[in-house]
């Protein structure tokens, strides 16, 4: 998928529905992603977001969410020095990145936690999803998220990865686990899947419910050279492929109790991470046996012939992206004899709720017989 297409999908989704002000319910609550003690931004039960920024001597404050390419939500200044405003319609459920523009400069909302997206730490807001239970922090046994610094000779530095180890990992020193290598999207980094993706909580809940077998997830930074937005064709996979397959995988296999073979190794990625997954799995079919593209393109049967047959191909996207393409690709793969599965996240676009749901669907299918 082209980056331009991805961007247009995002804009279309942000446009939302126009609803008149009388319909807005007065049950706003602080977003779950607010910094400790912060009352704003708030979200109501319909999915409207309300922002409040203190800048008593400013002339204009705007929020990038709400009207998409048309300028976002313009906040109105009150006599108390607070700028306040509400999105003109309900937002899609799930996580959204945003920023604010104050007198022409770009800043983050001081009320929220920050998440790395668009190559910067951005503000985040969460519109509670009707199915949010699957990524909720519950009273179950929790796995860990381990920050490792692994040596990378090819890039001449220590690189960071986060490794999810499932509940029980520390209990049985002889048990070994399959591994999923899971990549973030353009402008994000190795923090995305646990911070905004809640990959660890999704796995904890699936494992507690007996719906997925425990496995390890490894998340690292998928960019090894400078990459400018709109210049994706300049992207060379070789350097990242070297880091992943020649440096990270051997490090993980040496430092974690993995089942260190193709059959027990999967690769998945969202958006740009799906493009990386697509290319690397086709380049290195001897390394991975399960592939997943989350809003990140498709495989065709022609690409896969003459390669080691994967045990699973999972392709997903949000319903506001291009679900027909995803479903058709899975159908073609199935007709050609591949174990292909498609998933479409209802009423979501190129955003993290699509990918949280995709991981929730994917995880039970991975390493089924282990």
Interacting residues with a second copy (CB under 8 A): 35-37, 53-60, 81, 102-108, 110, 113-114, 119-121, 137, 139, 142, 144-151, 157-158, 170, 173, 194, 255-256
Least distance from C-beta 131 to a second copy, angstroms?
21
Pair 72, 329: CB distance under 8 Å: no
| Distances in whole angstroms, Cα of residue 235 to Cα of each of 2, 222, 299, 364 | 12, 11, 19, 32
Least distance from C-beta 99 to a second copy, angstroms?
8
**Nearest residue (CB) to a second copy, 55 versus 315:** 55
Write the DSSP assignment of 239-273 as a string of letters. HHHHIIIIIIHHHHHHHS-B--SGGGEEEEEETHH
Pair 83, 55: CB distance under 8 Å: yes
Least distance from C-beta 177 to a second copy, angstroms?
13
**Nearest residue (CB) to a second copy, 61 versus 267:** 61
Question: What size, in residues, is the chain?
Answer: 370
**Nearest residue (CB) to a second copy, 232 versus 365:** 232
Pair 198, 161: CB distance under 8 Å: no
Least distance from C-beta 58 to a second copy, angstroms?
4
Pair 367, 339: CB distance under 8 Å: no
**Nearest residue (CB) to a second copy, 72 versus 311:** 72
Angle, helix 199-208 to helix 352-362, in steps of 10 degrees: 30
Least distance from C-beta 274 to a second copy, angstroms?
22
How far apart are the C-alpha atoms of 277 and 266, rounded to whole Å? Answer: 10
**Nearest residue (CB) to a second copy, 143 versus 274:** 143
């Amino acid at each position: 998928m082209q980056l331009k297409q991805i961007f247009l999908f995002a804009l279309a989704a942000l446009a939302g529905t126009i609803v008149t002000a009388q319909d807005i319910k007065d049950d706003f609550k602080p977003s779950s992603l607010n910094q400790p003690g912060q009352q704003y931004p708030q979200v109501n039960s319909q999915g409207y977001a309300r922002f409040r920024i203190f800048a008593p001597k400013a002339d204009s404050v705007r929020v990038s969410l709400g009207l998409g390419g048309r300028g976002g939500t313009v906040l109105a200044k009150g006599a108390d020095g607070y700028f306040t405003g509400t999105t003109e319609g309900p937002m899609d459920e799930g996580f959204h990145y945003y920023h604010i523009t104050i007198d022409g400069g770009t800043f983050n909302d001081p009320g929220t936690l920050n998440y790395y997206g668009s190559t910067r730490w951005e503000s985040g807001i969460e519109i509670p999803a009707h199915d949010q239970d699957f990524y909720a922090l519950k009273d179950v046994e929790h796995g860990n998220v381990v920050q490792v610094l692994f040596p990378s000779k090819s890039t001449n530095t220590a690189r960071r990865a986060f490794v999810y180890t499932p509940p029980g990992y520390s209990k049985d020193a002889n048990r070994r686990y399959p591994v999923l290598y899971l990549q973030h999207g353009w402008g994000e980094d190795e923090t995305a899947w646990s911070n905004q993706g809640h990959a660890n909580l999704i796995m904890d809940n699936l494992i507690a419910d007996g719906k997925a077998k425990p496995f390890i997830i490894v998340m690292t930074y998928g960019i090894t050279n400078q990459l400018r937005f709109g210049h994706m064709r300049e992207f060379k996979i070789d350097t990242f492929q070297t880091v992943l397959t020649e440096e990270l995988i051997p490090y993980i296999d040496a430092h974690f109790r993995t089942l260190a073979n193709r059959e027990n190794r999967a690769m998945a990625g969202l958006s740009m991470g799906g493009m990386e997954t697509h290319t690397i799995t086709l380049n290195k079919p001897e390394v991975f046996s399960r592939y997943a593209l989350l809003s990140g393109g498709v495989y065709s049967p022609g690409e896969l012939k003459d390669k080691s047959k994967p045990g699973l191909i999972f392709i997903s996207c949000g319903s506001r992206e291009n679900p027909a393409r995803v479903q058709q690709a899975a159908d073609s793969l199935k007709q050609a004899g591949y174990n292909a599965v498609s998933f479409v996240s209802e009423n979501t676009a190129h955003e993290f709720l699509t990918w949280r749901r995709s991981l929730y669907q994917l995880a039970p299918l991975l390493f089924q017989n282990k």
